[in-house]
Amino acid sequence: MRLQIRGWILGALYGAQSIALAQEAPLVFTGATIIPIVGNSIENGALVVHQGKIAAVGALNAVSIPADAQRIDATGKMIMPGLVDTHNHIGGIGGADSSAPIQPDIRIYDSLNVRDSGFKRALAGGLTTLNIMPGSGHLLSGQTVYVKLRQAETIEDVFIRDAERNPLGGMKMANGTNSMSEKPFPGTRSKSAALVREQYIKAQEYRDKKATAAGDPAKLPARDLAMEGLVEVLDGKRIVHHHTHRHDDIITVLRLAKEFNFRVVLHHVSEGWKVADEIAKASAPCSVIVVDSPGGKLEASELTFRTGAVLEKAGALVAFHTDDWITDSRVFLRSAALAVRAGMTRDGALAALTLAGAKMLDLDRRVGSLEVGKDADFIILNGDPLSVYTKVLETWVEGEKRFDRSDPKDLLYAVGGFGAGRDQSPYFCCFEHPEGQ
C-alpha cells in the first residue's frame, strides 16, 4: 500500500501553490500515444509522475524509468494534458446583484460549493483547471477564481494561489445587450462604455492618492474594496475576462483596454471573425465558445465554427471554453473537433483546449502541456481526442486520480441518469437507495 503524504507543492512561478498527494513511489504510464501539446505526438510513450509533478515524458525506449516505479499499462490509449477551461460557471455561482452595474469587490469564490455535481461532471469531461466566473449580466460582475479540481472539502482546497497565498483570478466584464437594462444599469452601448471609463478613472485617482500618501495613515484614502479590485486590473495583476459578441462591441473592448492599459482576454467573440486582424494587431487572446447553446441572443446569431480558424490564421491566440451549462463540460473535447472540421489546424485546436487557455490564465508554467516539472495533470482517452466516439477514461490532477470511468460512481456523472445531478446525498432513515444515487 503506497503511503501518500499531503504537502505543499511549490510551483516554479507561484511559489507555495497547492496541496497535492505526493506518491512515495513514482508512477509510470507505458505504451500509450502521448500528445504533449509541445512537440510531436509520441508513439509507445512513457509518462513518469512523481510527487504531483511530471518527472519524465518521451518514447518508452528513451525514458529512464526509476526502479521503484509502479507501472501502469496504457497500451492502445492516448494521454494528453488535462483540459483548461477559461470560462466556467459550475459550483452554484452567485455574484453581483442589481444594486449597480459595476461591482469589482465581488469575489465569486464566496458563493462556490465544491460539492456541487458540476465539479464531478467537469472531471468526467477531462477538465482539470478552471476559471470560474460570475455571470455576464453586469458591465463588471466581480472577481473570478482559478481552481484545480483536486479532492476538496471546501473551496479553499481547490484554489490556485500566488506566492502570498492569495487565490489567483481575473476580473469579469461584459458589454452588449446582457448588461443593458433599466437604471442603474445602462440603456445603451455608449452609456455602458461611459460608466466603465468613469470607474477606471476613479480607480486611477484612488491609486494615485495611495501612492502620494506613501504609507502615511493620515493621508491614505478610506479603504475601498471596489477600487482595490480595479487597481489590481490597472496594475496588470488581474486579467480582464471580457464577455463580448458583436464586432463593434469587440472593438469597444479593445479601445478601453488600450485607453486604460489593462490586460484582456476576449470571451465568446461570436463575430470575432469579422475583426480578426484588429484582434491580432491588439495582441488580444480570444476564448471562443464553439457551441453557444442555448444562447438564444441576436448578437450571437452570426457565430460560426470558422471563428477559431479565422483567428488562428490572423495570428491571434485562441482557446476554447465551455461556459458550462451553455456547453456541458463533459463534451468539451468536441469544441476542438468542430473547429478542426471548420478549418482550424489540429495542433492549434488541441492547444486551444490546453496550453492556450493556460497562457490566458498566466498558468502556462504549471499546466497546459506534458513537460518535465509541470503539474501532473493529464487525461487518459480510449481514442483520438477529436473523435466523437472517444471517452475520457481517467482524469488525474497533480498525480492523483480524480475520475475513473470504470468506477460506477464516477460513470454516473459521465453519462447522467438518476442521482447524477444530486450534489450531496441526504440521509434516509427508513429506506435504502442505490449507492451514489
Residue 266 φ/ψ, nearest 5 degrees: -85, 125
For residue 167, is pLDDT > 60? Answer: yes
pLDDT of residue 428: 47
Domain with CATH 2.30.40.10 in the chain: 4-81+376-415
Q: From the CB of residue 15, how many other CB atoms can be counted at a distance below 10 Å? A: 13
* Nearest CA among 298, 304, 297, 246 for reference residue 275: 246
Is 2.40.10.10 the CATH classification of the domain at 4-81+376-415? no
**pLDDT tens-digit readout, 274-286:** 999 999 999 999 9
What confidence tier does 229 reach under pLDDT thresholds 50, 70, 90?
very high
Q: What is the phi-psi region of residue 436: left when phi exceeds 0, alpha when psi lies from -120 to 50, beta otherwise?
A: left
**Which H helix or E strand runs over 410?**
helix 408-415
**In the predicted model, what is the mean pLDDT of residues 52-59?**
98
**In the predicted model, what is the mean pLDDT of residues 10-34?**
64
pLDDT of residue 16: 36
**In the predicted model, what is the mean pLDDT of residues 305-316?**
98
Cα angle 300, 306, 311; round to 5: 95
* Arithmetic mean of pLDDT over the chain: 91
**In the predicted model, what is the mean pLDDT of residues 314-336?**
96
**In the predicted model, what is the mean pLDDT of residues 404-422?**
88
* Nearest CA among 285, 295, 270 for reference residue 315: 285
pLDDT of residue 6: 31
Is 3.20.20.140 the CATH classification of the domain at 83-360? yes
**In the predicted model, what is the mean pLDDT of residues 325-345?**
96
**pLDDT tens-digit readout, 377-401:** 999 999 999 999 999 999 999 999 9
Domain with CATH 3.20.20.140 in the chain: 83-360
**In the predicted model, what is the mean pLDDT of residues 18-33?**
75
How many residues are listed for the chain in this entry? Answer: 437
Which of 51-60, 171-180, 208-217, 416-425 shows the lowest per-residue confidence on average (mean pLDDT)?
416-425
Share of the chain above pLDDT 70, in %: 90
Spatial separation of the C-alpha atoms in residues 273 and 40, rounded to whole Å: 29
For residue 226, is pLDDT > 90? Answer: yes
pLDDT of residue 434: 52
* The three three-digit cell numbers of residue 288, written as one number: 471562443
Spatial separation of the C-alpha atoms in residues 65 and 29, rounded to whole Å: 10
Residues 6+ apart with CB under 8 A from 46: 28, 29, 30, 34, 56, 57, 58, 59, 60, 63, 65
What confidence tier does 413 reach under pLDDT thresholds 50, 70, 90?
very high
pLDDT of residue 135: 94
**In the predicted model, what is the mean pLDDT of residues 294-308?**
86
**In the predicted model, what is the mean pLDDT of residues 223-245?**
98
pLDDT of residue 393: 98
What confidence tier does 295 reach under pLDDT thresholds 50, 70, 90?
low
**pTM for this predicted structure:** 0.91
